[in-house]
Amino acid sequence: MSEKRLRQPIVAVLGHVDHGKTTLLDRIRGTTVAMKEPGKITQHVGASLVPTEVIEKVTEPLKKLIPTVKLELPGLLFIDTPGHSIFSNLRKRGGAVADLAILVVDVMEGFQPQTIEAVEILKQRKVPFIVAANKIDKIPGWKSIENVPFLVSVRHQDKSVVEYLDNRIYEIMGSLAELGFDSDRFDRVKDYTRQLAIVPVSAKTGEGIPELLALLAGLAQRYMKGRLKYVEGPAKGVVMEVKEEPGYGTTLDTIIYDGIIRQGDVIVVGSLEGPIVTKVRALLLPEPLQEIRATKKFRVVDEVSAAAGVKIVAPNLENAVAGAPVFVVSDESQLEKVKEEVMKEIEDVLIETDKEGVVVKADTLGTLEALVQFLKSKDIPVRMAKVGPVTKRDVMEAMVSKRMNKEYGVILAFNVKVLPEAKELAEKEDIKIFVHDVIYKLIEDFENWVKELREQEKRKELEQLVRPGKLRILPGFVFRRSDPVIVGIEVLGGTLMPGYPLMKESGEKVGKILQIQDKGKSVKEVKAGQQVAISIKGRVMVGRHLFEGDVLYTDVPSSHAKLWLTKYKNELSEDERYVLNEIIKIKRKTDPLYGLAVGT
Ligand code: GDP
């Protein structure tokens, strides 16, 4: 084997629901089936290999149109299940197992929430990607030609149709720019290391698929050779799915991204309870497609080398989790080291602290990792992060957190169930549980809730503050002289509400507003310019303490004035601010620290 041998890049497909991920993968797989001799296709578990000879045949018509490179790659390994969830699980410490990705965007719809989420995850994991602007056949007036390169098809379209397409592409470029990416239609890209390529395709008609495959292979070969160097050592892989298989027990659908795994190898598998050390009983690949009459789903193989999707049969796999590493132990002396490595991969993701922070639960290690990283990037602290359903213990952790900081006394649950006893306790203790299957939505829901909570707290605090207000007792409108005083007034400035204490211009206190009545009806609030009747409770009497024509102010406590001057300075109207300044002048005559230090 030459030193230069490269392994197949692992390619994942991401994008918003219904934008055509599955159809695109089917089309790529279908191309392979159509172009290879029956029985010669190596089947993988959870992945499909597109061999170099197929890529070469498909991209043949491109040779006359754009510069293409001679392929040294043995092909491209596509992960069969599209979506960010499976992509998140194809993880390794500090990165992704997928080498490349296709971001599928419906050219008619443009970016949608999960498109943004996909880009964020790709960015987070530093995975290079190509954008497939899918469904070009739906562009009004587009005349499809099955299975030809986009560059051929586009020549047959009317000018206005091409313009329409370009406008849609500009929109996608705009959305990508918002997320920090420079991009362009692939045939206008000058530097593939700096700009993302957008390939117009139709998963339905096959238009543009040649360019998509050529670009993926070309990019991988040109810029990722170091990463794709084939290593003949012990295998490294990651669990895609833990599956019960009749006759085999618990098995692991695994993507091998490095080295070789053989039947009989000792492997270490990550689990939430600690490393599982076990021995490979069998390695299974699917039966070739053509064996229609095959009675079994799988065939047994002796060994598998990267990159590959394989089902591992071994004892004691019950506790394994998706997203966990599977490492082959080359010899006994390495066992402890490998165990440590495996646990490090897992411990990076699981969090358990006694600090304030949200409680995070997710269905797999990969999605948990993605979620925690998003939270970290938003400076939201995490108290606990675990895989599995929401339990009573989680609610209790959130209760502890809530005592330290109301905003973090919550549970964020991605794609997991909430156990009934957890739900019950959460309801009783008023612990909010957010559940969603789009990470970005989950965080958004939480952030909106925090905003609402802060708004509510603010409203509550504001309601308790005495606002600045100024009034004049109207001459001739004394309805009752005492106990309580009832007088007609005009609001000269600011706001008056029942319950507000009043003072005279001298600073002398004169009781509290009991009620405000406007044309016989009791009201909660009056503003500058209004003329109403108020009753005043306290030991005051018109003619002794108060006189017709007197000007009164609301007796704003010093601590309230301080808040009006700082935290809530934007919550006062202009005339309230004016009145507050007058109140401050009155108050500072006797209390120089009024509104500055906390006092009354
Ligand atoms: P996914 O949710 O992203 O996997 O989307 P699917 O592959 O299931 O596609 C969603 C719908 O769009 C299906 O009805 C597909 O037939 C349709 N579709 C996918 N690709 C194309 C395309 O290129 N052209 C057209 N016209 N329809 C497409």
CATH for 95? 3.40.50.300
- pLDDT-based confidence at 598, cuts 50/70/90? low
Probe residue for ligand 1, chosen from 18, 145, 165 as the CB with the greatest number of ligand atoms within 8 Å: 18
Binding residue per annotation — 83? yes
State both tokens at 303: 């060994």
Q: Which of 300, 291, 309 is nearest to 248 (CA)?
A: 300
Binding residue per annotation — 115? no
Atom of ligand 1 nearest to the CA of 104: 3
- Give the integer Cα–Cα distance in Å for 90 and 257: 10
Q: Which of 208, 187, 220 is nearest to 52 (CA)?
A: 220
Nearest residue (by CA) to ligand 1, atom 20, is 20
Domain for residue 462, yes or no? Answer: no
Domain for residue 155, yes or no? Answer: yes
Is residue 98 a contact partner of residue 65, using CB atoms and an 8 Å limit?
no
Domain for residue 1, yes or no? Answer: no
Number of helices followed by number of strands (H, E) in the chain: 15, 32
- pLDDT-based confidence at 1, cuts 50/70/90? very low
Binding residue per annotation — 209? no
Predicted TM-score (pTM) above 0.90: no
Statement: residue 3 has pLDDT above 60: no
Are residues 60 and 208 part of one domain?
Answer: yes
Q: Which of 49, 40, 441, 338 is nearest to 213 (CA)?
A: 49
Among all chains, which residue has been given the structure tokens 């601590």?
Answer: 559
Q: In which domain, by residue range, is 387 found? A: 349-456
- Give the integer Cα–Cα distance in Å for 169 and 188: 12
Are residues 362 and 270 part of one domain?
Answer: no
Distance 134 CA to ligand 1 centre (A): 8
Are residues 405 and 277 part of one domain?
Answer: no
- Give the integer Cα–Cα distance in Å for 432 and 460: 20
- Give the integer Cα–Cα distance in Å for 117 and 388: 22
Domain for residue 44, yes or no? Answer: yes
Domain boundary, last residue among 316, 347, 378: 347
Are residues 358 and 253 part of one domain?
Answer: no
Q: 579-593: b or e for each residue (b if 16 or more CB lie within 10 Å)?
A: bbebbbebbeeebee
Tens of pLDDT, residues 493-552: 999 999 999 999 999 999 999 999 999 899 999 999 999 999 999 889 999 989 999 999
Are residues 171 and 72 part of one domain?
Answer: yes
Distance 207 CA to ligand 1 centre (A): 14
**How would DSSP label each residue in 584-596?**
HHHHHTT-TTTTT
Distance 289 CA to ligand 1 centre (A): 24
Ligand 1 pocket residues where CB is under 6 Å: 15, 17-23, 82, 134-135, 137-138, 202-204
Question: In sequence order, which ranges of 522-590 are alpha helices (DSSP H)?
Answer: 558-565, 574-588
Nearest residue (by CA) to ligand 1, atom 16, is 23
Domain boundary, last residue among 186, 204, 225: 225
Statement: residue 293 has pLDDT above 60: no
Nearest residue (by CA) to ligand 1, atom 14, is 18
Are residues 300 and 387 part of one domain?
Answer: no
Distance 18 CA to ligand 1 centre (A): 6
Are residues 488 and 438 part of one domain?
Answer: no
Distance 257 CA to ligand 1 centre (A): 29
Binding residue per annotation — 135? yes
Are residues 175 and 54 part of one domain?
Answer: yes
Binding residue per annotation — 110? no
Question: In sequence order, which ranges of 191-243 are alpha helices (DSSP H)?
Answer: 209-223, 225-228
Residue 599: its pLDDT value, please? 46
Atom of ligand 1 nearest to the CA of 26: 7
Write down how long the chain is: 600
Domain for residue 599, yes or no? Answer: no
Atom of ligand 1 nearest to the CA of 202: 23
Q: Which of 111, 12, 96, 118 is nearest to 438 (CA)?
A: 118
Domain for residue 3, yes or no? Answer: no
Looking at residue 449, its amino acid is: W
Nearest residue (by CA) to ligand 1, atom 17, is 20
Statement: residue 458 has pLDDT above 50: yes
Among all chains, which residue has been given the structure tokens 């600073």?
Answer: 507
Compute the C-alpha angle 399/404/406, nearest 5°: 70
Are residues 508 and 526 part of one domain?
Answer: yes
Atom of ligand 1 nearest to the CA of 15: 3
Are residues 292 and 337 part of one domain?
Answer: yes
Domain for residue 183, yes or no? Answer: yes
Global ipTM: 0.99
User: What is the number of domains present in the chain?
Assistant: 4
Domain for residue 402, yes or no? Answer: yes
Q: What is the CATH number of the domain that holds 524?
A: 2.40.30.10
Is residue 501 a contact partner of residue 555, using CB atoms and an 8 Å limit?
yes
Binding residue per annotation — 545? no
Domain boundary, last residue among 320, 347, 374: 347
Are residues 396 and 339 part of one domain?
Answer: no
Are residues 219 and 101 part of one domain?
Answer: yes
DSSP at 41: P
Binding residue per annotation — 80? yes
- C-alpha separations of 122 from 106, 186, 413, 464 in Å: 18, 19, 21, 48
Q: What is the CATH number of the domain that holds 424?
A: 3.40.50.10050
Is residue 541 a contact partner of residue 520, using CB atoms and an 8 Å limit?
no
Residue 94: its pLDDT value, please? 73
